[in-house]
């Protein structure tokens, strides 16, 4: 819900910029290792492809285990305290890995990096800092910062590794987290309140119902499979590039144009999926394309032009799915359950990263790097079977309506009044938060009727 005259307040702007920068710097530190670890780990004592894969995905295990507890802990101890603690754990993990002389210590360092699982606490702090009217735009900024961080990491990681080696990359990530502490301390204002937000945080009362919804589980499996494939592929892809004459120091310059062109190609597909309501065919087509690309990596990866074309296609599909899967979660989650659905979704993502590194390392060590792509293609085929019969998601948007004093005085009839508005498909009224969570069909929504209930002007958002 966004008032037509709403503006970002100074404190909101500071919070959005600061927390987006904090989130991006943290994700940049995690992603930078992805394109270089397999290539630069050969000097470590005990290094094997399996253990390198475990180091690559190890952060995902601790992240998956601890992200929900950290979010709940932030409700008790305070957002900034928990975020600062998570950043300190990330710094400690980076320093441990930077000083490692064996692969086992790198694995410990990566797990410590992941244990600073503050994503949920950051999103909760952003919700505390922003009004309901502008929260959708604030969350979108965080999402954009993650995408930018991934692209930058693919370029910067190889460049930093060329200068300082694997140790230099971990020292760089430690410095990024130290900057994050400074941003948290100096730029992000103190939250005026600390509340539960059902659009952001996990509600344990809704967890069982969320886990029983088949369509949401398909999307949880989708993000699990996507990050499994991503992490597994980077056990092998750097070696394929090196075998075709691309020096490790130049891998960043390979990824830069490929990522840029992939982003350009991805945007029209997102528009087709969202604006023209072709979400299911675009989604299923992307999964099928990913499976074929993985087979192509195995069969055609010895040709330079073919490999670059496949790499471009891989990033088109990856970026497309990274952009559309959260949108589909938002469409399918019941009113007021988006935060819970996203919590399960994020846990699935990190588990996928962990198992992808482990599986990729095991296949590479046992059967060679080409088997990594074949194994990933099998996962892609299973993924395609899982989503093939998935019904097309309804194009519903999540909206948050702040309740004024007059609305709060009519709680006994408010639910029925919201439900009677054309285009409102689902509603949950939460008196303790003084908001109502709606799922609406924007093409059918009677904005004037909704405004009469809320006392606010209504304007489309991009939830």
Whole-number mean pLDDT of the chain?
86
Q: Of 74 and 161, which is predicted with more confidence?
A: 161
pLDDT for the residue numbered 233:
95
Phi-psi domain of 250 (left: phi exceeds 0; alpha: psi -120 through 50; beta: other): alpha
Top mean pLDDT of 6-10, 91-95, 211-215, 458-462 is at 91-95
Q: Are residues 380 and 421 both part of a single domain?
A: no
Q: Please report whether residue 462 resides in a domain.
A: no
Q: Is the pLDDT of residue 337 over 80?
A: no
Q: Are residues 167 and 253 both part of a single domain?
A: no
pLDDT for the residue numbered 61:
93
Q: Is the pLDDT of residue 1 over 80?
A: no
| CA 216/CA 377 separation, integer angstroms | 23
Q: Are residues 297 and 425 both part of a single domain?
A: no
Q: Are residues 277 and 326 both part of a single domain?
A: yes
Q: Are residues 366 and 298 both part of a single domain?
A: yes
Q: Tokens 């009044």 correspond to what residue?
A: 417
pLDDT band per the 50, 70, 90 thresholds, residue 3 = very low
Q: Are residues 237 and 335 both part of a single domain?
A: yes
Q: Are residues 182 and 241 both part of a single domain?
A: no
Measured in whole angstroms, how far is the alpha carbon of residue 174 from the centre of its chain? Answer: 21
Q: Which of 173, 201, 229 is a domain's end point? A: 201
Q: Please report whether residue 232 resides in a domain.
A: yes
pLDDT band per the 50, 70, 90 thresholds, residue 198 = low
Alpha-carbon distances of 123 from 77, 128, 186, rounded to whole Å: 16, 9, 18
Residues of the chain with pLDDT > 90, as a percent, come to: 48
Q: Are residues 233 and 160 both part of a single domain?
A: no
Cβ neighbors of 436 (< 8 A, separation 6 or more) are 400, 401, 403, 414, 418, 427, 428, 429, 430
Q: Across residues 65-82, what is the average pLDDT?
A: 85
Q: Which of 367, 395, 423 is a domain's end point? A: 395
Helix H or strand E encompassing 25: helix 10-31
Q: Across residues 193-206, what is the average pLDDT?
A: 67
Q: Is the pLDDT of residue 2 over 50?
A: no
pLDDT for the residue numbered 428:
82
Give the number of other Cβ atoms within 10 Å of residue 404's Cβ: 12
Predicted confidence (pLDDT) per residue in 75-106, tens digit = 788 888 999 999 999 999 999 999 999 999 99
Q: Across residues 333-343, what is the average pLDDT?
A: 80
Q: Please report whether residue 137 resides in a domain.
A: yes
Q: Across residues 182-199, what is the average pLDDT?
A: 75
Which pairing describes strands 397-402 and 435-440: parallel, antiparallel, or unpaired? antiparallel
Q: Which of 395, 418, 442 is a domain's end point? A: 395
Q: Across residues 345-372, what is the average pLDDT?
A: 94
Q: Across residues 188-192, what is the average pLDDT?
A: 76
pTM of the complete model: 0.89
Output the domain CATH number for residue 342.
Answer: 1.20.1250.20
Q: Across residues 100-117, what is the average pLDDT?
A: 94
Are the C-beta atoms of 173 and 31 separated by less than 8 Å?
A: no
Are the C-beta atoms of 196 and 34 separated by less than 8 Å?
A: no
Q: Please report whether residue 460 resides in a domain.
A: no
Q: Are residues 236 and 361 both part of a single domain?
A: yes
Q: Across residues 428-433, what is the average pLDDT?
A: 78
Q: Are residues 276 and 359 both part of a single domain?
A: yes
Domains identified in the chain, total number: 3
pLDDT band per the 50, 70, 90 thresholds, residue 455 = low
Q: Please report whether residue 165 resides in a domain.
A: yes
| CA 22/CA 80 separation, integer angstroms | 12
Helices (H), 134-213: 135-186, 204-211
pLDDT band per the 50, 70, 90 thresholds, residue 460 = very low
Which of 7-11, 116-120, 260-264, 283-287 is predicted with the least confidence, judged by mean pLDDT?
7-11
Predicted confidence (pLDDT) per residue in 290-325, tens digit = 999 999 999 887 889 999 999 999 999 999 999 899
Q: Is the pLDDT of residue 197 over 70?
A: no
Q: Please report whether residue 333 resides in a domain.
A: yes
Q: Are residues 328 and 448 both part of a single domain?
A: no
pLDDT band per the 50, 70, 90 thresholds, residue 260 = very high
Q: Please report whether residue 441 resides in a domain.
A: yes
pLDDT for the residue numbered 434:
76
Q: Are residues 158 and 15 both part of a single domain?
A: yes
- For the record, the structure tokens of 415 come out as 């639910």
Domain range for residue 301?
211-395
Q: Please report whether residue 463 resides in a domain.
A: no
Helix H or strand E encompassing 227: helix 214-243
pLDDT for the residue numbered 53:
95
pLDDT for the residue numbered 220:
94
Q: Across residues 201-206, what is the average pLDDT?
A: 71
Output the domain CATH number for residue 412.
Answer: 3.30.70.100
pLDDT for the residue numbered 357:
95
pLDDT for the residue numbered 133:
67
One DSSP character per residue, 314-339 reads: HHHHHHHHHHHHHHHHHHHSPTT-HH
């Amino acid at each position: 819900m966004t008032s037509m005259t709403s503006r970002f307040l100074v404190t909101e702007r500071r919070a959005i910029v600061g927390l987006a920068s904090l989130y991006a710097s943290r994700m940049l530190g995690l992603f930078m290792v992805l394109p270089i670890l397999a290539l630069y780990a050969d000097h470590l004592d005990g290094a094997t492809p399996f253990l390198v894969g475990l180091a690559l995905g190890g952060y995902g295990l601790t992240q998956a285990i601890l992200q929900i507890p950290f979010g709940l802990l932030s409700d008790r101890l305070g957002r900034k305290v928990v975020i600062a603690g998570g950043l300190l754990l990330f710094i400690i993990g980076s320093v441990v890995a930077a000083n490692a002389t064996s692969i086992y210590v790198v694995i410990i360092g990566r797990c410590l990096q992941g244990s600073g699982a503050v994503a949920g606490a950051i999103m909760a702090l952003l919700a505390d800092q922003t009004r309901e009217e502008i929260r959708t735009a604030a969350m979108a900024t965080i999402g954009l910062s993650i995408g930018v961080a991934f692209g930058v990491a693919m370029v910067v990681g190889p460049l930093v590794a060329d200068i300082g080696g694997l140790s230099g990359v971990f020292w760089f990530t430690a410095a990024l987290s130290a900057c994050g502490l400074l941003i948290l301390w100096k730029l992000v204002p103190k939250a005026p309140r600390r509340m539960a937000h059902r659009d952001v945080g996990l509600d344990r009362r809704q967890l069982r119902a969320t886990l029983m919804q088949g369509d949401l589980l398909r999307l949880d499996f989708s993000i699990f499979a996507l990050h499994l494939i991503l992490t597994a592929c980077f056990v092998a892809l750097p070696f394929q590039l090196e075998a075709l004459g691309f020096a490790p120091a130049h891998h960043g310059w390979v990824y830069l144009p490929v990522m840029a062109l992939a982003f350009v190609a991805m945007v029209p597909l997102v528009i087709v999926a969202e604006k023209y309501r072709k979400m299911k065919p675009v989604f299923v087509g992307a999964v099928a394309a990913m499976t074929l690309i993985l087979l192509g990596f195995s069969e055609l990866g010895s040709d330079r032009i073919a490999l670059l074309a496949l790499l471009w296609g891989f990033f088109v599909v990856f970026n497309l799915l990274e952009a559309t899967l959260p949108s589909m979660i938002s469409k399918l989650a019941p009113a007021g359950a988006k935060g819970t659905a996203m919590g399960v979704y994020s846990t699935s993502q990190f588990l996928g990263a962990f198992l992808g590194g482990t599986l990729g390392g095991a296949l590479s060590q046992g059967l060679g790097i080409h088997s990594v792509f074949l194994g990933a293609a099998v996962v892609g085929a299973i993924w395609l079977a899982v989503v093939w019969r998935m019904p097309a998601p309804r194009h519903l948007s999540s909206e948050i309506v702040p309740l004024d004093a007059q609305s709060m005085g009519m709680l006994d009839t408010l639910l029925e009044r919201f439900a009677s508005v054309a285009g409102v498909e689902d509603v949950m009224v939460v008196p303790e938060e003084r908001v109502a969570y709606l799922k609406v069909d924007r093409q059918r929504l009677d904005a004037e009727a909704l405004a009469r209930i809320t006392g606010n002007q209504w304007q489309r958002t991009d939830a």
